[in-house]
Structure 1
C-alpha cells in the first residue's frame, strides 16, 4: 500500500511517501499562484524517487494553507448575508471584549476587515423564540427573494444565512437556503445552524460568515487539485487535514472549509507528538519553523491539546470549530529584516516567501531574511541547500545584510546577521512562553522539538531561552508536518444545542438529551458510512459541553455509558467539576451545572506510517559521516572551524560533539560549542549540554 502525505507551506511543499520499498522524503518549491501545480509535481517527483507508478498510490493526505492564507491576505469572496430583522449589525458590534481595553487607538478586525460588508447584510422578518424554538413570526419569503435579487445585481455569489435562535430550530434557515438556491442556483450558501449549531449569535454568525468568505476559493482549489491528480494518473483517495487533527474528504472540506483553517500547522503538531513518542519523551514543545511562519504547540504527556472555543480566533474573527492548541507568528526562514521609520530593527512578520524568496535565491529579492543571515554566519552552506538541488548565492546575502541593516545601523555585517537571528529567536521564545508559561506549564520539564526547514538551526537557542531540558530533532525535520499527515485518523464532528440544568432535570429533559445524542451519533455515522468505513472500525464519542449556571463559557465533560438519567447524570457533573479544577485551579462541587451543547466525534483509525529503526553504532569513528570543515559563527560571536556531518550516515548511539553541523536533504541542524548531539534509535537526535 503506497500512501503520500503532502504539506504545503508558504515557501516549500513537503512530501513523504510510504510504500513497499520504504519511506521516501521530497521537497519542492510552493507554486503560490496555484498550489495544486506544485503538489502534483511533488507527487510525480516522489513517485519517481521511490520507483513506483503514481497509479499505485492508494491515498494522499494533504495539509493546506489555502483557507488560512485567504484570511491573512483578506482576499476572500464578496459575501451577502440574510439575517433576522433588527440584528443586522451583530457582526459589527461583536462582544464587549476589546483587543486593548484602555486604548483609544486600536484595530477591531471584525469592523476594519468585515467578513460581510454592512450594505450586503440584509435583514428579513422572522422570529424563533427561546427556549423551545417555537416560531413566533413566519419567515418573510419574499424578502429573501428580494435579497437574492440585490445580491445578483451586486455580483455576489456567496451567501450567509444566520437567524436568531436557529440552533433551537433551523426551519427558517433551511427554507431560506431553498429559496436562495432557487433564485441563485450557483450560489455558495452557508447556514449558521450547519457550521455552528450552538448558542451565542455573534460567534455563530461569524463562523458562518467565515465559511462563506473562504468557501468558494477553497472549494475550487480542493476540487482543482483532485482533478489535476487524476489527470496525472493518481486515482487514489484524497483526504484533507483538519484543524482538529483529524482528516476528512474533499467534499466535506469544500462544504465546510472552516474545518481546515489550521490544516497545515495541525499536521506538524501530530507529527511532533509522534516523534516525541519515538524518542521516549512525552513532554514536548513543538516549534515548526518554515519559510513564512513559526507554529508553537505544547504537548504535555504526549496528549495533543484542543483549544478552548473561546480562544479560537482566526485573523481576529471568532470561529467556533475545534482546533489544535497552537500559536502562529510571522517568523521563518523567509522573514524579512528591516529598519522602520523610527530606526528600530525588526524581523518579520513579512516574509519573502518562495517568490522572490531570500536574496540568496537569486530570484530578484533584495531584502535580507533570516536565511540570508544564516548564510552570512556560515550556518547554511550555499552549495548544500536541499542536498545541493537548490543553489544559493552567498554574495547576495552579504550584500542584502550589509546594505539594508549593517550600514544604516553602523555595525559589521556579522553583528547585523547575529542581530537578525537574536531578534527572530526572541520573537519565537515569546510565542513559546504564551503557549506554556502563560498557561501554567513549566518549560524546564519539556524538550524543545524544532522542525520545518529552518527549525533545527534555532533549536538550541530556543531551549536556552526557555531553560528547556534538551532538544529533540525529528528524523526528517523539514518533512515532519507531512509525516504527521500519515499518523492521523479520519474524524468528523457534529454539535447540537441542548440547554438543561442537570441537577434539576426530569424525564422530559433527559428525553431531549438522549434524543439529541441519538441524532448526533446517526449524523457522524452517516459521514463515516459515506467514506466507506466499516461499522466495526467506527468509533463515536459524545461529549457534554457544560458550565456553571450563569458562567460565560463551557468546558468539555464525559458522558455516561448508555442513556442519561437521574441515576447517572453525576458522571457528567463530576467530570465537569474535575475539568474546571484542572483548568482554573478551583471548582464549586455544590453549584448547579448547566449542559449547553452536545458534541459527537466520529473517527476511524487508518494505518500509521512506520519509521524504521536505524542500525546501532558499530563502535567506529563518526568520521565516517564527516563531509568537510568550514568556519561558522555562533551566538556568542565566536567564529570556529566547524565540521559538517552527513546525518544519514550516523548510527544509533553515535555522539557528535559541538561545534558541528548535521546535514540532510530537508534541513540543517546546528550543534553549538558545549553541546553534544546523540543519534537515537529511529535516526532522530537529542541535543543536550555536554555533561548533562
Structure 2
C-alpha cells in the first residue's frame, strides 16, 4: 500500500506516508494563508526520510487524503460569503429566534450558568437577508399552498440586489416533499444563469439534512453555505497543488462522520472537526487490532485537546444534533469533546480565584508561542514546558523551530509572576498542573456522564503534545497506565489513512412499531423497506459516481427510536436490512429496549407508552486497505536503555528542587526498552516525558509505548 494522509491542524500540518512496508511521519507549521505551502513542507519532510522527492512519490500513491480544520477556522473568524435565506411564509424568524435558547449553545458550562449575560452569536444570515416565499406543504407531504413562482422570482431578485453570494432554501416539511425547493433552484438558474453571476451556490435544505426540525435543518444548511466558498477554494487549491506535482487521481477528504469521499462528493459541513475524528477512527482500529478493550482517545495538539470514546464491541458514539461553534446542526458526527488546552493555549491570570487559567484562546502557528520568537506576546503551555526543561531548544520539531528560552521567561514573568507573587519556575509548574488537571477533568466528565469509570479504560495519548503531558494527565485522572500509540505525534493523520469511503443518508419517518392505544404492532413492511431501499440507492449512487465497484458496497442500517412522545431519541444499529415479519419487529424492539437500558439504566424503559421510529439512516461504504499496526503485546524481558545523550535539570510538579533527568534519542524507542523516570526522550517528531514514579516501556515499532505508575 502506498498512501499519503494529511491532518491540517490549527498549529501544525501532519503528514503520514505509507510506502509499502515503510511508514514515515512529516510535520510543518500550518500556513493559514495557503494550506498548500504547509502541506508541501510536511510532505517534503516525509519524503526526505524515504530518499524521494514529492514529484517521485505522488504519482505512485493510491490516494491522498485530507483532514482539515479549514472550516472550523472560517467559522471562528467569521470569514464567509453574504448568505441569503428563503423560507416559507410565516417562518421568517425561525433562525433569528433560534428556539429561544440558541444564544446558550456552544458556550462553556460557566457561561451557560449565566445565560442572562450570554451574548448571541453574530448572525451568519442577518434578518434583512431573509425573505418569505408563498408556499406550504403539510406534514404528510401534500401541497397545502402551491408555490407562487412570481413571488419566488421577486424574492430572489431582492436577495441578489442585497449582495447575496450564496442562497439557502429552507421550506417547511421539504424533507417529506422537496418539490418546491427543487423548483426554486430551477427558477434561480432561469433568472441568473451561471454566465451572469458566476458560481453562486444554491443549497436546498432537504439535500443537506433529511430529518424534520426546521431550525436545526436551517442552521445546518446556512453553515454549509457559509463554508462552501472557502472550502471550495481552499481544498481546490490543495487539489491543484497535487496536480502540479504529478498526482492525477481524485483527492479524498475525510468527513466528521468517520468516513471519507472525493472532494466533489463532500459538503463543507462534513469537514468540520474531521481531523480529530480521524484520530478516533485510528483509535478504534488500533483497539480492535490490539484487543485493548475500552479506549479513551485523547489528542493534544497545538490548539486543542480532543476526547473521544471507543467502547469494546464496536459501539460508536455519534452526535446526531451536534453544536458546531455556536449553532445547533442536524448532521451525524462522531462524538467529540474539544477543550482549549493545547500546546499553544494561552495562560492568563484569573483574578477571581487568583490562579492561572488556560485557554481557550490559542497562539496558533502565527505568531505561535512566545518561545517560537515569531512575535507571540502571551505565555503558553509550550513556554511552560520549555522553562521546566522538557523541551530541547535546539532540537524542537527536529531542529526546524529553534526555541527562545529568554523570550519564554520574559512573557511568563510579565504576564503572571507579578500577579501571582511567584518566580518563573513556580508559575510554569502551576501552568502545567492546571492544564493537566483540566484535561483529566474533561476525560473524567466525558466518561462518567456516560456511565463509565476511567479505570476501566486504556488512555491513548497522542498528538504533538500528548506524550509530553501523558503522565500529568494520568496522575490527575487517577489511572496508572497510558498508551502512546504508534506514530503518536501524527496519529490523526495516520487515522485519515484507515477510514473507508462512506456516505450517510437519512430520511424522516413516522413508523409506530407498537401502538399502545390499539395494542397493535407495525405491519406495513413494504413502506418501511421502500424507505431503506431509497437510502441505499442514494448511497450507492454516491459511491458509484466516485468510481467504486457496486459489488463492493456494504450497508449499515441505523434507526432513531423513542418511547411514545418522549423527545429523547436513541440510535439503534440493527443487523436487519429489511422488516419481513412480526418476529423482525419484536427483535428490533428488544434491541431498542437493551440500548435504552444501557444509556439510561436498566428498568427505565417504558414500552407501554409505545415504540416509534423517527429517522431511517443508511451508511453506505466500501472497505479500504488500512495501515497495519504491529502487535502491542509486551514480550520477553525488558531491555536496558541506551546511554543517555545528555543530562539536564528538569522541574516537576510535587518536587521543590529540580531533578537530574536523563535525555534519550530515537534509540530509546527500540522494542523492549524500559526506562524509569525521570527521563526525556526527544525524537524527530515529538518529545516523550517520563515523570518521577513512572516507567516507560517501548512495545512496538512506530514508537508505541506504555507508561505505568
TM-score range, shorter chain: over 0.9
Q: What's the counterpart of residue 400 of structure 1?
A: 411
Name the SS of the counterpart of 1:458 in structure 2.
Answer: helix
Q: What's the counterpart of residue 431 of structure 1?
A: 442
Q: What's the counterpart of residue 120 of structure 1?
A: 129
> CA shift at 1:502, angstroms?
2.0
> CA shift at 1:304, angstroms?
6.2
Say which is worse superposed, 158-167 or 423-432, in terms of deviation: 423-432
| Runs of 5+ consecutive residues of structure 2 not aligned to the other structure | 105-110
Inter-partner Cα distance in structure 2 for 1:91 and 1:411:
49
Q: 2:651 is matched with which residue: 633, 636, 640?
A: 633
- Return closer, same or farther for 1:662/1:562 CA change in 2, 3 Å cut-off: same
Q: What's the counterpart of residue 483 of structure 2?
A: 472
Alignment of 1:139-150 (within 5 A): 139-150=147-158
Kindly indicate whether residue 591 of structure 2 is the aligned counterpart of residue 572 of structure 1.
no
Kindly indicate whether residue 58 of structure 2 is the aligned counterpart of residue 58 of structure 1.
no
RMSD value, Cα: 2.3
Contact 1:7/1:14, CA 8 A, preserved across alignment: yes
Say which is worse superposed, 488-497 or 545-554, in terms of deviation: 545-554
Say which is worse superposed, 213-222 or 370-379, in terms of deviation: 213-222
- Return closer, same or farther for 1:490/1:629 CA change in 2, 3 Å cut-off: same
Contact 1:158/1:212, CA 8 A, preserved across alignment: yes
Contact 1:625/1:646, CA 8 A, preserved across alignment: no
> CA shift at 1:287, angstroms?
1.5
Inter-partner Cα distance in structure 1 for 2:325 and 2:256:
15
- Return closer, same or farther for 1:178/1:317 CA change in 2, 3 Å cut-off: same
Kindly indicate whether residue 75 of structure 2 is the aligned counterpart of residue 71 of structure 1.
yes
Inter-partner Cα distance in structure 2 for 1:209 and 1:470:
44
Say which is worse superposed, 81-90 or 452-461, in terms of deviation: 452-461
> CA shift at 1:643, angstroms?
0.4
Q: 1:169 is matched with which residue: 160, 172, 177?
A: 177
- Return closer, same or farther for 1:408/1:568 CA change in 2, 3 Å cut-off: closer
Q: What's the counterpart of residue 221 of structure 1?
A: 234
Q: What's the counterpart of residue 583 of structure 1?
A: 599
Contact 2:384/2:429, CA 8 A, preserved across alignment: yes
- Return closer, same or farther for 1:577/1:491 CA change in 2, 3 Å cut-off: same
Q: What's the counterpart of residue 387 of structure 1?
A: 398
> CA shift at 1:600, angstroms?
0.9
Name the SS of the counterpart of 1:401 in structure 2.
Answer: helix
Aligned length in residues = 683
Alignment of 1:285-304 (within 5 A): 285-301=296-312, 303=314
Inter-partner Cα distance in structure 2 for 1:231 and 1:168:
45
> CA shift at 1:389, angstroms?
2.7
| Runs of 5+ consecutive residues of structure 1 not aligned to the other structure | none
Inter-partner Cα distance in structure 2 for 1:248 and 1:515:
26
Inter-partner Cα distance in structure 1 for 2:542 and 2:689:
46
Alignment of 1:408-419 (within 5 A): 408-419=419-430
Name the SS of the counterpart of 2:253 in structure 1.
Answer: strand
> CA shift at 1:498, angstroms?
1.7
Inter-partner Cα distance in structure 2 for 1:518 and 1:155:
41
Q: What's the counterpart of residue 117 of structure 2?
A: 106
Q: What's the counterpart of residue 496 of structure 2?
A: 485
Inter-partner Cα distance in structure 2 for 1:262 and 1:202:
22
Contact 1:625/1:649, CA 8 A, preserved across alignment: no
Q: What's the counterpart of residue 618 of structure 2?
A: 600
Q: 1:662 is matched with which residue: 681, 684, 690?
A: 681
1:391-436 Cα deviation digits (max 9, x unpaired)? 1121111122122211332211101111111221222123212311
Say which is worse superposed, 592-601 or 619-628, in terms of deviation: 619-628
Kindly indicate whether residue 67 of structure 2 is the aligned counterpart of residue 49 of structure 1.
no
> CA shift at 1:166, angstroms?
0.8
Inter-partner Cα distance in structure 2 for 1:29 and 1:294:
18
Inter-partner Cα distance in structure 1 for 2:581 and 2:323:
36
- Return closer, same or farther for 1:141/1:12 CA change in 2, 3 Å cut-off: same
- Return closer, same or farther for 1:106/1:298 CA change in 2, 3 Å cut-off: farther
Contact 2:228/2:268, CA 8 A, preserved across alignment: yes
